[in-house]
C-alpha cells in the first residue's frame, strides 16, 4: 500500500512543471535496498526570515508561494508542510516550494484528509482536533503562518509544549504588530481565520489588494500536462 502511494506521488510529481515548484528530475530505485532516491532541481538559497522582512519583499515571495500552492491544489496535491524552511530562493529571487515528503494526494474534488500535517507551529486549528479536515484550507492556513513569520520574524502561536502550542493555535488570536499596513492586517486575519469554512481561499487571496499591489492578481498558471484539462472535463484518467 505504501509503495503504491509512493509510486502514485512520484508519477504525479514527475508531471509537475511550475516556476515556483522544485522540480523532480529523477527517481533512483536502489536494487540493494528498499530505498528510493529522489533527484531534485538544485536551488541556491532559502528565505532568511528570523529578523522579519519588509512588506515589499514579503509580497513578492507570497505571490510566488500562492501561485505554486494553487498549482499543486489544481493537481490534487496537498503539500501539508508549507513553511519558510521549505521555501527555496533562486539567484533571481524567485521562490520555489520544496520538500514533498509529507504531501498528500486527494481524489476527484474531495480534499478531506485525516493524517496530520507536517510541522506543529504551522498546523491549522482544525488539524489540532484529530478529526478529518480539508487539505486546501489547511495549506492556506500554513501560507498565512508563513506570511506572519516573514513579516514579524516570529511564530504567531508557540507554546512551551506541543499541547500548549495547539491550544494557542485553536484559541488565541494572532498578535499582529501595529506597524503592519491595514491591508496586510486584513489579509493576515483572513488567512489565519480559525474557522476553515470562513477562511479566505488561495484564489481569493491571489486577488486580495495587498497581494495584487501594483501588479494585479496572481495569475493562474496554465499547465500543459493535461491533468487540469482532465479535471475540468470530469475525468480522472490514470497518470502514466
107: which residues sit within 8 A by CB, 6+ positions away? 76, 236
Backbone CA torsion sign across 52, 58, 64, 69: positive
3-state secondary structure of 144: helix
Specify which residues 29 forms β-bridges with.
Answer: 36
Is 81 a catalytic site residue? yes
Measured distance CA(82)–CA(96) in Å, rounded: 11
Per the residue annotation, which of 81, 99, 111, 139 is the catalytic one?
81
Spell out the residues 6+ positions from residue 64 whose beta carbon is closer than 8 angstroms to its own: 19, 20, 94, 95, 96
Distance CA 124, CA 101 (A): 18
78 close to 104: Cβ distance less than 8 angstroms:
yes
The residues carrying an active-site annotation are 81
Amino acid at each position: 500500500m505504501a509503495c503504491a502511494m509512493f509510486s502514485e506521488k512520484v508519477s504525479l510529481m514527475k508531471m509537475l512543471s511550475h516556476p515556483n515548484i522544485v522540480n523532480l528530475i529523477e527517481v533512483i530505485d536502489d536494487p540493494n535496498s528498499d530505498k528510493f532516491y529522489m533527484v531534485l532541481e538544485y536551488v541556491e538559497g532559502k528565505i532568511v526570515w528570523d529578523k522579519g522582512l519588509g512588506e515589499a519583499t514579503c509580497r513578492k515571495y507570497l505571490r510566488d508561494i500562492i501561485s505554486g500552492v494553487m498549482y499543486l491544489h489544481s493537481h490534487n496535491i496537498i503539500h501539508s508542510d508549507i513553511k519558510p524552511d521549505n521555501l527555496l530562493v533562486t539567484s533571481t529571487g524567485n521562490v520555489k516550494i520544496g520538500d514533498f515528503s509529507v504531501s498528500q494526494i486527494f481524489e476527484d474534488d474531495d480534499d478531506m484528509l485525516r493524517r496530520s500535517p507536517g510541522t506543529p507551529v504551522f498546523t491549522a486549528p482544525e488539524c489540532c482536533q484529530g478529526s478529518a479536515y480539508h487539505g486546501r484550507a489547511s495549506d492556506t492556513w500554513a501560507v498565512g503562518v508563513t506570511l506572519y513569520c516573514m513579516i514579524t520574524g516570529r511564530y504567531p502561536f508557540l507554546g512551551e509544549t506541543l499541547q500548549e502550542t495547539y491550544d494557542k493555535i485553536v484559541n488565541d488570536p494572532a498578535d499582529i504588530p501595529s506597524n503592519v499596513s491595514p491591508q496586510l492586517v486584513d489579509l493576515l486575519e483572513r488567512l489565519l481565520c480559525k474557522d476553515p469554512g470562513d477562511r479566505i481561499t488561495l484564489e481569493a487571496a491571489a486577488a486580495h489588494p495587498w497581494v495584487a499591489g501594483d501588479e494585479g492578481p496572481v495569475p493562474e498558471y496554465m499547465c500543459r500536462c493535461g491533468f487540469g484539462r482532465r479535471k475540468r472535463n470530469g475525468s480522472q484518467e490514470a497518470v502514466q
